[in-house]
């Protein structure tokens, strides 16, 4: 089906040029001679692109564009202004009103057609991307919902096994770790399912970062033992709560700890720390691993960053953990960062305002 273009111009000569050029290119055309007529037509039919004259009787192109952008049905329709104005201030006003481009009068056939094709192609790409994102979000929500059931079974089985009279004292801490880890996975899924697309995270809760650090240390102690890494805590027990949400904050901190254990060599150490940083409440993970070369530090927190340090125990590393932390923390109004002490190693941190 051909794409539809609305041409809004009160000059017959301009209309003739555009109708001839765009009609020959196979586009379906709508024509309006002023802003009021354009607004009335778009209430009935939504075009794929609008060519809008700036200087018209009645409401001008600036105001027409503002009204089009204020309507949900036409807010995403690209508007190309047609203008004989050469002042920079007029062009700035046009973009501020919601225009995406402009065509200078007198109109040249090839230029007009090239700009129209470009912006229609961009609109198609945006639509395709939005459809893909919607499909992916729907799939992820179905998968998240269906993962809750086996996780609930793991939690229940772990709890029953932990309480069984024949369970030894040696096995009980491992069963507690399984139960706690599965519970945290369920919290992450529940948080994901509660967030609607585009709503983001609120960051208005209250989280005790020291309690979170302690729970994570217990969860990751078996992994640290397996690599002969000393896991230690330096917690300020008198910190006020951080202004954040518990599930995404816990998830962010676990990503830091998991990352630190991957890159710390056997026999090394990892420290989970909470402290004040000026007016902020900060959580840190310090390791004595190889650190990050200075030339590569600007890639930190980017998805699939290709950094030279590699996991020290053959673990998988997809380059997503730090990017996930950045999203989780910044979507709640927090800040992430990394420091590299002169003596070596790394300190990865995030911080929030006190609540």
Mean pLDDT of 323-328: 89
For 69, 127, 184, 224, 349, the CA distances from 274, given in Å and listed in that order, are 47, 44, 20, 20, 9
Is residue 287 scored above 80 in pLDDT? yes
| Confidence class for position 289, pLDDT limits 50, 70, 90 | confident
d(CA 286, CA 272): 7
| Confidence class for position 192, pLDDT limits 50, 70, 90 | low
pLDDT at residue number 349: 97
Higher pLDDT, 190 or 263: 263
Q: Which long-range contacts (CB under 8 A, 24 or more apart) does 101-107 make?
A: 103/51, 105/14, 107/14, 107/17, 107/18, 107/82
Burial 30-69 (b: 16+ CB within 10 A, else e): bebbbbebbbebbeeeebbbbbbbbbbeebbbbebbebbb
Higher pLDDT, 157 or 140: 157
| Residue range 203-355, CATH number | 3.30.565.10
Mean pLDDT of 302-324: 76
Is residue 20 scored above 80 in pLDDT? yes
pLDDT tens-digit map of 196-246: 555 555 556 889 999 999 989 988 888 899 899 999 999 998 999 999 988
Mean model confidence pLDDT for the chain: 87
Higher pLDDT, 87 or 83: 83
Task: Report yes or no: 350 and 329 within 8 Å, Cβ to Cβ.
Answer: yes
Please provide residue 8's backbone torsions phi and psi, each rounded to the nearest 5 degrees: -120, 105
Q: Do domains 4-107 and 203-355 have the same CATH topology?
A: no
Please provide residue 305's backbone torsions phi and psi, each rounded to the nearest 5 degrees: -65, 135
Percent of the chain with pLDDT over 70: 94
- Say which DSSP state 241 is in: P
d(CA 98, CA 105): 20
Residue 342, token pair as written in the block: 């002169």
Higher pLDDT, 229 or 94: 229
pLDDT at residue number 228: 94
| Residue range 4-107, CATH number | 3.40.50.2300
| Confidence class for position 318, pLDDT limits 50, 70, 90 | low
pLDDT at residue number 191: 67
Q: ∠302-306-312 over CA atoms, to 5°?
A: 110
Task: Report yes or no: 329 and 342 within 8 Å, Cβ to Cβ.
Answer: no
The three-class DSSP label of residue 302 is coil
Its pTM stands at 0.56
For 232, 261, 326, 346, the CA distances from 225, given in Å and listed in that order, are 12, 10, 28, 20
Q: How many CB atoms lie within 10 A of CB 16?
A: 11
pLDDT at residue number 173: 86
d(CA 286, CA 309): 16
Whats the size of the chain, residue-wise? 355
Burial 207-239 (b: 16+ CB within 10 A, else e): bbbbebbbebbebbeebbeebebebeeebeeeb
| Confidence class for position 158, pLDDT limits 50, 70, 90 | confident
Domain locations in the chain as residue ranges: 4-107, 203-355
Mean pLDDT of 252-264: 91
């Amino acid at each position: 089906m051909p794409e539809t273009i609305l041409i809004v111009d009160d000059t017959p000569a301009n209309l003739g040029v555009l109708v001839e050029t765009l009609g020959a290119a196979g586009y379906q055309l709508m024509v309006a001679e002023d802003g009021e007529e354009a607004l009335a037509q778009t209430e009935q039919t939504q075009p794929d692109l609008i060519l809008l004259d700036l200087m018209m009787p009645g409401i001008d192109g600036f105001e027409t564009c503002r009204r089009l952008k204020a309507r949900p049905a036409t807010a995403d329709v690209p508007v190309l202004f047609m203008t004989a104005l050469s002042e920079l201030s007029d062009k700035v006003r046009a973009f501020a009103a919601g225009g995406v481009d402009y065509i200078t009068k007198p109109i040249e056939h090839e230029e007009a057609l090239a700009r129209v094709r470009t912006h229609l192609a961009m609109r198609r790409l945006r639509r395709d991307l939005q459809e893909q994102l919607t499909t992916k979000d729907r799939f992820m929500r179905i998968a998240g919902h269906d993962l809750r059931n086996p996780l609930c079974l793991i939690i229940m089985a772990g709890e029953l096994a932990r309480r069984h009279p024949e369970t030894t004292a040696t096995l009980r801490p491992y069963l507690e770790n399984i139960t706690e880890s599965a519970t945290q996975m369920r919290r992450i899924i529940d948080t994901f399912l509660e967030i609607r697309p585009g709503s983001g995270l609120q960051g208005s809760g209250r989280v005790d970062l020291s309690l979170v650090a302690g729970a994570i240390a217990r969860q990751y102690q078996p992994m640290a033992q397996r690599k002969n890494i000393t896991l230690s805590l330096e917690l300020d027990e008198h910190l006020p709560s951080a202004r954040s949400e518990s599930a995404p904050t816990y998830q962010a901190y676990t990503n830091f700890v998991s990352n630190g254990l991957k890159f710390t060599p056997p026999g090394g150490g990892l420290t989970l720390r909470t402290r004040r940083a000026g007016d902020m409440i900060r959580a840190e993970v310090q390791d004595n691993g190889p650190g990050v070369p200075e030339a590569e530090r600007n890639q930190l927190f980017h998805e699939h960053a290709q950094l030279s340090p590699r996991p020290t125990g053959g673990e998988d590393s997809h380059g997503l953990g730090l990017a996930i932390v950045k999203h989780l923390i910044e979507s709640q109004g927090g800040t992430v960062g990394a420091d590299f002490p002169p003596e070596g190693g790394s300190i990865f941190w995030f911080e929030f305002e006190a609540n």
